[in-house]
Amino acid sequence: MNRPIPIERFVAYGRWFQARAVPNLEQRKVIGIAKDTAGFRVVLADGELLRCGRVIIAGGIGPFAVRPPQFAGIPRDLASHSSEQRDLTSFRGKRVMVIGAGQSALESAALLHESHADVEMLVRESTVQWTWQRPWLHTFRPLGAVLYAWPDVGPAFISHAVARPSLYRLLPRWLQDSWRAKSIRPNGVGWLKPRLQNVTISTASPYFPRASGETRWISN
């Protein structure tokens, strides 16, 4: 198995790549884009206006962090979004509830547990979904290539349709919806599972605690 890359090395590589690929990087926030006859007007946070013929937006998921309305009345230092946390060791010795069962939730719970927080997870679905529990199914040739397309998004076989958008568009809508739900549902990567063995996970639960369902690990 590949060894994890230390964060410092990962960041240094990113900076090295950026310096060579896009040395003229602007690090200012875009607050508005408008079309005019000559192309686009791009407004930056410091008020400068840039003009350009084309715009490609690759804003990522950061601005779309969802904070459920149930938490609107709770101070942010008591109920935070996982993207706001940088160092989970600050929760050492505290009781923390993690809500959700995607990679962010599962990884946060593992790190909190390893930081000696008293952590519990609440999961709305009846099960926690895991991917890559048997890595050889993805990598062993030729089997891996038959089961999973190279982008490796979605369950076995369905992954081939997901990797071909032109084909996917031709499928009936009910099948698109069904495979979409299976392919991008919240899940965690298999190597996290052992790190959560001693964390209480209550499934079939809404955002707030109620009678716990049975925790059942399932694989794909």
Ligand X SMILES: Cc1cc2nc3c(=O)[nH]c(=O)nc-3n(C[C@H](O)[C@H](O)[C@H](O)COP(=O)(O)OP(=O)(O)OC[C@H]3O[C@@H](n4cnc5c(N)ncnc54)[C@H](O)[C@@H]3O)c2cc1C
* Contact in structure between 124 and 132 (CB atoms under 8 Å): no
- Which of 25, 34, 56, 58 touches ligand X by CB under 6 A? 58
Regarding 62 and contact with ligand X (CB under 6 A), the answer is yes
107 vs 120 by CB, closer to ligand X: 107
What DSSP designation does 43 have? E
Provide the token pair at 4: 């994890």
Q: Which residues, 97 to 116, sit near ligand X by CB under 6 A?
A: 103-104, 107
* Contact in structure between 54 and 39 (CB atoms under 8 Å): yes
Least Å distance between CB 214 and ligand X? 27
Distance CA 36, CA 20 (A): 33
Cα angle, residue 58 at apex, residues 99 and 156 outer, rounded to 5°:
60
Cα angle, residue 137 at apex, residues 134 and 139 outer, rounded to 5°:
110
Piece of 9-17, 54-62, 168-176, 196-204 that binds ligand X (CB under 6 A): 54-62
Regarding 30 and contact with ligand X (CB under 6 A), the answer is yes
Burial of residue 123 (number of CB atoms within 10 Å: 0-12, 13-18, 19+): buried
Least Å distance between CB 102 and ligand X? 8
Least Å distance between CB 38 and ligand X? 22
Least Å distance between CB 31 and ligand X? 7
- Which of 4, 59, 93, 172 touches ligand X by CB under 6 A? 59
**Would you tell me which residues interact with ligand X (CB under 6 A)?**
29-30, 58-63, 103-104, 107
